[in-house]
Chain A
Amino acid sequence: MLVQEADQILQRALQENGPDTEVAFPNTAYYLPLVFGMTGREVQTLGDLVPVIEDAKRLLRPVPADRRWTPYLGETLDSGIATLLAEETIEAVRFIYGLEPQRVPGLELAGGTAFTSPDANGDGQAAGNGHLNGPIDDIQLRSWGIQLVDGRMPGFAAIVGAAKSNEVAVKIVRELQQRNILTFLAGNVNGRSIIHQLQEEGVEMGYDTYIVPFGLDTISAIYALGFAVRSALTFGGMKGGQAREILHYNKERVFAFVLALGEVDDLKYATAAGAINFGFPVVADTRIPQILPTGVTTYEHVISMPFNEIAAEDDLGRAEKLVQKCIEVRGVKVRVTEVPVPVAYGSAFEGERVRRADMRVEFGGKYSRAFEFLRMVDMDEAEDGKVEVIGPGFDEIEDGGAMDVGIVIEVAGREMQQDFEPVLERQVHYFVNAASGLQHIGQRDIAWIRISKAAAEKGFDLEHFGKILHARFHADFGAIVDKVQVKIYTDPAELEKWLETARDAYDFRNQRLADLTDERVDEFYSCTLCQSFAPNHVCVVSPQRLGLCGAYNWLDCKASYRINPTGPNQPIRKGNLIDAEKGYWEGPNEFVYQHSNQAIEEVTMYSIMENPMTACGCFECIAMVIPEGNGIMVVSREDPSMTPAGMTFSTLAGMAGGGLQSPGIMGHGKFYLLSPKFISADGGFKRVVWMSSFLKESMADELQEVAEREGDPDLIDKIADERDATTVEELLPVLEENEHPALTMPPIF
């Protein structure tokens, strides 16, 4: 329909002006950008437009049947592109007749494209007065383009139509401005445009305010897509005619969306179909057919969100939610750079202690209960940035007193997974500790938090926990978290209820971890964080063998890879199994060979005797074979004493570290001791004949479970430590006396 109209307009222009009449958008390169981008045609004259219309006609398809069993978008999309080609043709012709940029009496642009033609500038007035902007000029394209590419500007919004009221129009635009999102305006509903609405409310429009009024009709929305094409040509290194690449570039890198306000007529819908080709989703504030499945766009294609049905107190609240929905559908990431708390904030304060005398109030510890619980919720269930304190504050508590508190963090994100809950929850410790005057110890339901008098005097209050967590989760985990809301419970009944929910979740997670075995996953993760000082070392982290530093388990690595896909934690496909007992797979072997500068050819996951995993130097423990005891000793970093190997931890560290593979000695994480896969190829935990007393004591309960699992409940007591033996001579009699099982096991080598 529009294509026909464009055809007629073009024919008339050809008759009146001749085919050699020049056509161009002022101050822009790339000819007519959309035409150039999609078809490669370099339109310079009216005559050049004829084949463009032919292209458009070919792309037009019969309207698909209303109901199809699977939504089929192909034809809609092609027709969309045809519409865009026609729109750009019409705009180009209008420039010849001086109809573009459109006049709006009384409008003053705060910075805009300068038109050299005096006609266009409205009777010799200064540039930027009395007319709309038309296409964005090249200088501005580059300047904004740089900000879009470097991420300072998250994306652009193309608003088409008119808002319910002037008030709503202003609110929508302000919400976008606040987030640094560039706003393009076009179109009208029954002659009334959002441009009029903003003008009446005295909102400044123009380059300087990031609000660009293109034109009063739907057709002028083409400038937004022209801008998108030019971005790809300028910043993506694309060439004219590389339609697929240009569209893909926009989908992946230009975070734009269309917000249709008011009634959506056929032309708007067709233009929207054009925008979808770019991966730009369309959100309408009226009832229109939705296209929900994902594919061409990252998430949903077309969303209908009838304005009056949005749940909010008033229209302003509805406007806010509408904008939030747009951002969510396009996946625009929010950036929070500052942590809004009344005290100094930074990792320098992490180790700070709050002594009892300096303490205003504490939560948890001996005199009260505190827990923290992070859970994933659906996108609709979380309102980003919302912090609620449910129950009384600590004003009534005397200085140095204690009170119960529960911090419940609800996060939502397209990339969020339930497996990441504990990974994120553990961050609470670091995030809270980084506030000056706060001390955080523990986790889960043994959390213990103190607020100093100084911090309380500066105004630090319960709600600030929420502010900290919101800011930091966005800043550090933005790749997986889109929304964060925090509820702080002090109300006893609510707290009790949530504590129960949290404990159920903790149990569930424990069970999940217990069920997570190396056999059940397809991928392990690498950690090459330490290659700066141990260039040939690669950690292979599996569900049952955490990183040797103890800081990275398999879930941490998985989350870290999501957050930083080019970082030090990369997935390693297990590939073909070579030896299940020793833990050889093709994948880890290849990965380690490549990433150890070809120094390490093979690595076992479960053996200390054969091709053991190398170590950087960060290990929590060192295991070493004691041939005389037919077993191994495990010495922890905390233990300064002499060991039966005749060396202390620090001497041993020189042998175990540096990325060298030495059978018989191995660095590992404390919790690997508890794994059923702990040197399972060599006989498992029963091989431990000597172990630092620090480990025995600090992990007493866990080790007891291991002993029972191994079928020898007294096993831990049978293991010697530095208190009974610091030489092999002393060790053997102890083992014999204790009837240590290693003595009767097959020879370790």
Chain B
Amino acid sequence: MTVEIPVEKWPGQVREITLGATADEGGTRSHTVTVGGETTLPFLHFEGEIPHPPVVGIEIASRRPDDWSPLLLETWSDVVDDPAAWAKAAEEAGADILLLTLSLEDSVDDATSAVRQVLEACDLPLIVFGPGQADKDNELIVPVAEEGAGERLVLGVCEEKNYRTIVAAALAHDHLVNSRTPMDVNLAKQLIILIHDMGLPLEQILMDPTTGALGYGIEYGYSVMERLRLAALQGDSMTQQPMLVTPGEEAWKAKEAKVGDDVPAEWGDWGERAINWETLTATSLIQSGADLVVLRHPETVQRVQKTIDALMAEAGEPELVAA
């Protein structure tokens, strides 16, 4: 017996957005990366188009991070002291794009030189986030935007309390921005409207609804993302931005990933557990509609890529066989 699969005809489509610019387009990247374009929920290939697979990014930092797990620092080893070497290593580890996080300790020169070095060391499109403190973000991101003119960087983080300067910098130098709101459908939509209102085209805005790690509120993040995607497919234009989330950062904050000592023996091997934590966080979010996940561990990248490959392999007409 075959079961007829119900097919929904969605009126909306996720916006296609391209990151990075090649030499022809005024940048120096060897290729660009395009995300979005879906006309159906994640991986329902029988229902609509999924023109671009979800993209995996690796987070690197402008200087040795002091709050990262020793497991990560060990894995990446010496390169964490050198953004250029780290960028190269991340590219080799299979990243589609890079996210460079600047530090509170960076001066303007530190920040622009880190961006310059990373751009020179690798061919991938680049996302640059400030350290996450409004004043410092603005101080660093504006010169970074100038330094990276032509590259179509993604600049972040735009938040409700602090987005105008970053958006203005993106306008001045033709970059994209990352619009981040704390796990709320309406806030996500509102910030997109506000950023777009300043004159930045929707083709230059990624939506970052934020998330929690596995066991730390991932359900909440998952369901907000799912609802955003449903709204997008239902035709709500201001929710049709591709979604970027940072499961790497979230998962590595979780105790299960961070702590190796004094935990129950049944938790098993620390390294394996931490990678599982990051992998499961990322793959769950991909299932809820993430177009771009940023990770921290190279092994996770491999595993997540594998999952994506499997999910993207079109199964053709599904056939259900009655037991």
Contact pick for B185, options A146, A531, A598, CB 8 Å: A531
Contact pick for A532, options B173, B187, B201, B230, CB 8 Å: B187
**B118 partner residues in chain A, CB cutoff 8 A:** none
Chain A's interface: helix, strand, loop or mixed, by majority? helix
Check if B171 sits within 8 Å of A149, measured CB to CB. yes
Contact with A along B172-189 (1 / 0, CB 8 A): 110000000001111100
Would you call B167 an interface residue if the criterion is a C-beta within 8 Å of the partner chain's C-beta atoms? yes
Most buried by B among A147, A150, A253: A150
Contact pick for B164, options A142, A149, A234, A598, CB 8 Å: A149
**A535 partner residues in chain B, CB cutoff 8 A:** 185, 227
Check if A151 sits within 8 Å of B164, measured CB to CB. yes
Chain B residues 190 to 228 lying within 8 A of chain A, measured CB to CB, are 190, 193-194, 197-199, 201, 227
Chain B's interface: helix, strand, loop or mixed, by majority? helix
Check if B165 sits within 8 Å of A150, measured CB to CB. yes
Would you call A152 an interface residue if the criterion is a C-beta within 8 Å of the partner chain's C-beta atoms? yes
Check if B168 sits within 8 Å of A149, measured CB to CB. yes
A245 to chain B, nearest CB (A): 11
Contact pick for B171, options A147, A235, A568, CB 8 Å: A235
Would you call B142 an interface residue if the criterion is a C-beta within 8 Å of the partner chain's C-beta atoms? yes
A180 to chain B, nearest CB (A): 14
Would you call A711 an interface residue if the criterion is a C-beta within 8 Å of the partner chain's C-beta atoms? no
Would you call B34 an interface residue if the criterion is a C-beta within 8 Å of the partner chain's C-beta atoms? no
Contact with B along A137-157 (1 / 0, CB 8 A): 000001101110111100000
A338 to chain B, nearest CB (A): 15
Check if B165 sits within 8 Å of A146, measured CB to CB. yes
Would you call B169 an interface residue if the criterion is a C-beta within 8 Å of the partner chain's C-beta atoms? yes
Chain A residues 146 to 181 lying within 8 A of chain B, measured CB to CB, are 146-147, 149-152
Contact with A along B222-255 (1 / 0, CB 8 A): 0000010011001000000000000000000000
Bound Cα distance A78, B199 (Å): 27
Check if B164 sits within 8 Å of A237, measured CB to CB. no
**B173 partner residues in chain A, CB cutoff 8 A:** 142
Would you call A459 an interface residue if the criterion is a C-beta within 8 Å of the partner chain's C-beta atoms? no
Contacts A152-B165, A535-B227, A566-B193; is A146 near B172 (CB within 8 Å)? yes
**B299 partner residues in chain A, CB cutoff 8 A:** none
**A528 partner residues in chain B, CB cutoff 8 A:** 186
Using CB atoms, name the residue of chain B closest to A564: B190
Would you call A236 an interface residue if the criterion is a C-beta within 8 Å of the partner chain's C-beta atoms? yes
Check if B169 sits within 8 Å of A146, measured CB to CB. yes
B81 to chain A, nearest CB (A): 32
**A145 partner residues in chain B, CB cutoff 8 A:** 168, 172
Check if B230 sits within 8 Å of A597, measured CB to CB. yes
Would you call B146 an interface residue if the criterion is a C-beta within 8 Å of the partner chain's C-beta atoms? yes
Check if A531 sits within 8 Å of B171, measured CB to CB. no
Check if B190 sits within 8 Å of A146, measured CB to CB. no
Contact pick for A235, options B168, B194, B197, CB 8 Å: B168
Bound Cα distance A423, B34 (Å): 48
**A150 partner residues in chain B, CB cutoff 8 A:** 164-165, 167-168
Would you call A567 an interface residue if the criterion is a C-beta within 8 Å of the partner chain's C-beta atoms? yes
Check if B186 sits within 8 Å of A234, measured CB to CB. no
**A146 partner residues in chain B, CB cutoff 8 A:** 142, 165, 168-169, 172
Check if B231 sits within 8 Å of A597, measured CB to CB. yes
Contact pick for A236, options B169, B187, B199, CB 8 Å: B199
A residues contacting the other copy or chain, number (CB 8 A): 24
B residues contacting the other copy or chain, number (CB 8 A): 26
Check if B167 sits within 8 Å of A532, measured CB to CB. no
Using CB atoms, name the residue of chain B closest to A139: B146
Check if B168 sits within 8 Å of A567, measured CB to CB. no
Bound Cα distance A253, B198 (Å): 9
Bound Cα distance A269, B289 (Å): 59
Check if A149 sits within 8 Å of B198, measured CB to CB. yes
Using CB atoms, name the residue of chain B closest to A253: B199
Bound Cα distance A145, B145 (Å): 14
Bound Cα distance A270, B109 (Å): 47
Check if B146 sits within 8 Å of A597, measured CB to CB. no
B215 to chain A, nearest CB (A): 21
Bound Cα distance A228, B185 (Å): 37
Check if B185 sits within 8 Å of A235, measured CB to CB. no
Chain A residues 546 to 593 lying within 8 A of chain B, measured CB to CB, are 566-568
Using CB atoms, name the residue of chain A closest to B164: A150
**A143 partner residues in chain B, CB cutoff 8 A:** 142
Check if B199 sits within 8 Å of A235, measured CB to CB. yes
Check if B185 sits within 8 Å of A532, measured CB to CB. yes
B218 to chain A, nearest CB (A): 17
Check if A235 sits within 8 Å of B201, measured CB to CB. no
Bound Cα distance A659, B76 (Å): 48
Bound Cα distance A253, B164 (Å): 13
**B201 partner residues in chain A, CB cutoff 8 A:** 237
Using CB atoms, name the residue of chain A closest to B187: A532
Check if B172 sits within 8 Å of A142, measured CB to CB. yes
A289 to chain B, nearest CB (A): 35
**A149 partner residues in chain B, CB cutoff 8 A:** 164, 167-168, 171-172, 198-199
Bound Cα distance A420, B168 (Å): 33
**B199 partner residues in chain A, CB cutoff 8 A:** 149, 235-237, 249, 253
**B194 partner residues in chain A, CB cutoff 8 A:** 566
Check if B172 sits within 8 Å of A597, measured CB to CB. no
A22 to chain B, nearest CB (A): 24
**B184 partner residues in chain A, CB cutoff 8 A:** 531-532
A571 to chain B, nearest CB (A): 16
B147 to chain A, nearest CB (A): 12
**B190 partner residues in chain A, CB cutoff 8 A:** 566-567
Chain A residues 199 to 255 lying within 8 A of chain B, measured CB to CB, are 234-237, 249, 253
**A235 partner residues in chain B, CB cutoff 8 A:** 168, 171-172, 199
A33 to chain B, nearest CB (A): 15
Using CB atoms, name the residue of chain A closest to B235: A594
Bound Cα distance A528, B171 (Å): 31
Using CB atoms, name the residue of chain B closest to A567: B190
Bound Cα distance A598, B231 (Å): 10
**B183 partner residues in chain A, CB cutoff 8 A:** 532
Bound Cα distance A505, B99 (Å): 59
B191 to chain A, nearest CB (A): 9
Check if A237 sits within 8 Å of B185, measured CB to CB. no
Contacts A532-B186, A566-B190; is A237 near B171 (CB within 8 Å)? yes
Using CB atoms, name the residue of chain B closest to A151: B164
Bound Cα distance A737, B246 (Å): 66
Bound Cα distance A236, B171 (Å): 7
**B172 partner residues in chain A, CB cutoff 8 A:** 142, 145-146, 149, 234-235
Bound Cα distance A17, B61 (Å): 56
B43 to chain A, nearest CB (A): 22
B146 to chain A, nearest CB (A): 7
B187 to chain A, nearest CB (A): 7
Bound Cα distance A249, B146 (Å): 23
Q: Give 5 closest A-B pairs by Cβ, nearest first.
A: A150-B164, A149-B168, A146-B168, A150-B165, A532-B184
Q: 28 interchain pairs (CB within 8 A)? A: A142-B146, A143-B142, A145-B172, A146-B142, A146-B168, A146-B169, A149-B172, A149-B199, A150-B164, A150-B168, A151-B164, A152-B165, A234-B171, A234-B172, A236-B171, A237-B171, A253-B199, A531-B184, A531-B185, A532-B183, A532-B184, A532-B185, A532-B187, A535-B185, A566-B193, A566-B197, A567-B190, A598-B234
A146-B172, A528-B186, A532-B183 known; 13 other A-B pairs, CB under 8 Å? A142-B172, A149-B168, A150-B165, A234-B171, A234-B172, A235-B171, A235-B199, A237-B171, A237-B199, A237-B201, A532-B185, A566-B193, A566-B197
Q: Which residues of B contact A (CB under 8 A)?
A: 142, 146, 164-165, 167-169, 171-173, 183-187, 190, 193-194, 197-199, 201, 227, 230-231, 234
